[in-house]
Structure 1
Amino acid sequence: MRRGGTKVRSVADLHTEEAQMRTMLCSLIAALGIAATAPAQQPAPPAGPPGMMGGDSAEFEWLGLTADQRAKIKAIRDQLQQQNAPLREQVRQITGGRSFRDLSPAARDSLLPKLQPIRDQMMENGRKAHEQIEALLTPEQRQKLAQHMREHGMRGGPPPD
């Protein structure tokens, strides 16, 4: 245990938690973000490249977002992107532009004290964006979203300790 009663986690635990949270947040933001960018009452554009912003916006019509919800979700997503851009740049500088996975275990361990506060801030930013997006949804939409996340192996809430 560290001072303050926080649990010390291994690099592997942190990497797993980060991947799980990133998957959940990216899926939620992608699902709602793609739907947010779809023009109201127009046919869906062809599918884009794979990735967070790729995919067919018609895929998320099941959520039934209003034009106002789509606009607000897009603003939240844009704000999250702006908040995290300088943090991602800090990570790139610390890791020399290499992916955390590509670093040796010794390099990961040595960089973790520098990277952890940045990671924590990015996770907090994502959590706040998630809460803001969920607050825009009706109870029925939240229920549909929760069901969708369960069906696709995504969890809501923080990673386990």
Structure 2
Amino acid sequence: MERFLENLMYSLRWLLAPIYLGLSLAVILLGLKFFQEVFHVVPIIFEIKEVDLILLTLTLIDIALVGGLLVMVMLSGYENFVSTLDINRDSEKLAWLGKIDSGGLKNKVAASIVAISSIHLLKVFMNPQNMGHDTIKWYVIIHLTFVGSAFAMGYLDKLTRKSDD
């Protein structure tokens, strides 16, 4: 009975595969949104204010960072929790693929969230007239919470890796 339950639980990891595949759909949607933003600005590029162009550029960077985060979670999560990716030797393989364990993935996700939050906070600072001081204060507090959490997770990971050695 115990062996059956263990095999069943181990086999159920494949339920994660469609979830990781679904993340690829989110990457496609982000790509569509990215190019929608670009196509909206092209006809008015000479009329747009510099600040608005910088805000748009920050939005595009934000979309790219979220897309990269999705790809990292999708591929590393699949490889860590479902199955090893069997990529054709002729294909280009990402350097980090197969080298990130679940702890490393968690730290990279935290660092990506801090980067995304930084870009968003910069956008808020570039356009403060649309926000009250309390709103900006909360954006800063939330960002610092992300930074503190990422630092704490990295520090704890470093401590646990040292104790494992």
Q: Same fold (TM over 0.5)?
A: no
Normalised-by-shorter TM-score class = 0.3 to 0.5
TM-score, length of structure 1 as denominator length: 0.37
Larger radius of gyration: 2
Greater helix proportion: 2
